[in-house]
Amino acid sequence: MDIIELNKRIEQESAFVDAMTLEISKVIVGQKNMVERLIIALLADGHILLEGVPGLAKTQAITVLAKTINAKFSRIQFTPDLLPADVTGTMIYSPKEEAFFVKKGPVFSNFVLADEINRAPAKVQSALLEAMQERQITIGEQTFKLQEPFLVLATQNPIEQEGTYPLPEAQLDRFMMKVVIDYPSKEEEKQILRSQIAAKKVAVRPIVSLENIICAREVVKEVYLDAKIENYITDIVFATRYPEEYGLGKLKSLINYGASPRATINLALASRALAFVRRRGYVIPEDVRSICLDVMRHRIGLTYEAEAENIKSEDIITEIVNRIDVP
């Protein structure tokens, strides 16, 4: 595989990334990290979870992203009284036909926005498990394949808030990335103020087709991942399971369970997509380091000791990444 040729292909195929970012920035001020992560999830074919306090444009960012793509988009507002059938669909009896027929739910789309996903009980959140992993839905005795591309983009408010149910571990693990969103800077806030009180509202137009995305995904799969980078990724993940082997014995009492093999897979896929977004045909350690926190933060279980000492999974990951030798 010729890296120069691959770089040329990436240059051509990734042209839409800039166009998308520009289109999104018409509506979303700042939050460059969040927008970049949304595009990475789209290219790496991974689901994404955005967490932040209300009012930080999480839902709006996802809606705008979906509008820039010519695809089917549906939104599910998760509430405490939502039922699994409201998400996946159900069997309805037709007296005229004297038979049951399938009524498909909103999950049958290319992009599914699961808004405030932690406001619904675990049984509803789990209704998405099969869709997220197997890309299919079973209603009654029938199984339906979901359209490609299929992406779940979820938002949630921090767990400490009233009336929220923490997501089950199996569900969390199926998200490629969990991105924590912070408040905008003072300058950005002023920009938001100006754009919101302006008389003219900006309309977002679809500029990317599904074919563009499918082609780009094929190129992302060709991005070169060296054996040294593979070792680096597996070392980071293994250090969350057996910290004492990497000279991080003090973390042993803080970690209840380490990251799963999905962490390794998603770290590699996301690093590739990041290299693509940055117009490179190969992955460098910096790609892994910069995406590591978003891919890993929701995959590490903390002990009561860590919680008592107010240690977050981010602190543990940062310590591991700083300790592991960079190739």
Q: Tens place of pLDDT for every residue, the chain, 327 residues?
A: 678 888 888 888 888 888 888 888 888 887 888 888 989 999 998 999 999 888 888 888 888 888 888 888 899 999 889 998 999 998 988 898 888 888 899 999 988 998 888 888 888 888 888 888 889 998 888 889 998 889 898 988 886 667 788 888 888 888 999 999 888 889 888 888 888 887 677 788 888 888 888 888 888 998 888 999 999 999 999 999 999 988 888 888 899 988 999 999 999 999 999 999 998 888 999 999 999 999 999 999 899 998 899 989 899 999 999 988 888
Contact at 8 Å (CB) between 229 and 280? no
What's the domain count of the chain? 2
232: left (phi over 0), alpha (psi -120 to 50) or beta: alpha
Helices 32-44 and 261-277: crossing angle in degrees, nearest 10, is 110
Boundary-marking domain end, from 216, 239, 267 = 216
For residue 274, how far is the Cα from the chain centroid?
Answer: 13
The sheet that has 151-156: what strands, in order across it?
A: 73-77, 111-115, 151-156, 47-51, 175-180
57/166 same-domain check:
yes
For residue 31, how far is the Cα from the chain centroid?
Answer: 15
204/258 same-domain check:
no
At position 322, the amino acid (one-letter code) is N
Closest CA to 129 of 97, 107, 162, 111: 107
31/61 same-domain check:
yes
**Which tokens belong to 109?**
């789309």
Contact at 8 Å (CB) between 7 and 279? yes
Domain around 287: 224-323
242/162 same-domain check:
no
97: left (phi over 0), alpha (psi -120 to 50) or beta: alpha
